[in-house]
Structure 1
Amino acid sequence: MQRELSRCRQIVSEMLLSSGQERLDEAQAMRAHAFLEAAIEGLALPVRISFDMRCDPVIMADPMLEQAVRQLVDNAAEAGSRNIRISLSPGGAEQLALVIEDDGPGFPDAILADPGQPFQSDKDGAGRGLGLFLTGNVMRRLNGEMRLANLRHGAQVTLLLPTLETAA
């Protein structure tokens, strides 16, 4: 538990440090599916992760985006999800929809009403409630968008990302 807490603190610290960068210094062009595999590689979570790849465009794979995806998957597992589905589909002209769905309890109404606010969390402990806030900031920095929704059984986070080619 201490090791996981330390890892979470490291992720938040890295995201906070990186959020001040003006340029995408460490970003590289890569296929979205390869980016996702690299992003979740090494996550030792008690969940089943499945993929639905309807497209595989080239995106700018920024380390902050990788941390955001890892944090979203980790949050879903912490919330009690047993299954996480990650899908890629066209989100519009030169845009990718990266969707993370889980079978957990869903988002509290306060978070759905204003997902951009820090420290909104229904979990106990210090440092909670930064993941969605930081992910929203990462998306703005990448000229993307984050959308949250509750499903009948679970939560859904949609990240709309610019692509370097048509996503279809």
Structure 2
Amino acid sequence: MGHSHMPSLRGAGIGAGIALLGMVGRKLAVQAPTALAGDWDKALAAEHKAALALFDRLRDSEASGRRSLLLIQLKHALGKHALEEENAIYPAMREAGMKAEADALNSDHGYVKQYLYELTDLVKDAVAFRAKLSAFRTDIEQHMAQEENELFPKLKAALNPHATARLTRRMNQEGLKLA
């Protein structure tokens, strides 16, 4: 007799599970490309590449309305990326004895926000916007190259596989905050 209630309880559980999936589905969809990229360093490199593609679309956009929409996307992508780095990767760098490097990268993020602030004011002026965007891209490419070619490999070398997996989980949790 106790079993007669099981199907309805199981059905309620599945329904609640589907509702929960609906709530987190968008976040997971936004985060999936990062999470599926593998370890934290590969995931961040994939985000760098995606951000540069947004820079290209912004450079090529003719209409100010289109620039505004793409700029919102770029702000979101870079904001999520900054959270992941500032709240997970840079603290791990400091723990690994890379305090000066982490602090310098963190300082760069302040200038990223400055560029985004200035671009917002220039969105209607295509010529000035493209000039500012070009300077921004040059600076951010240098930042990304330093991370990918020098500092992230140095940090990864300092981590054992367990610490790498933990840092990847932590980074993905930070990314979900802004997904």
Tell me the TM-score normalised to structure 2 length. 0.29
The structure richer in helix per residue is 2
Larger Rg over CA atoms: 2
Per chain length, whose mean CA-contact separation is higher, i.e. which structure has more relative contact order (CA < 8 Å, sep 6+)? 2
Q: Which has the higher strand share?
A: 1
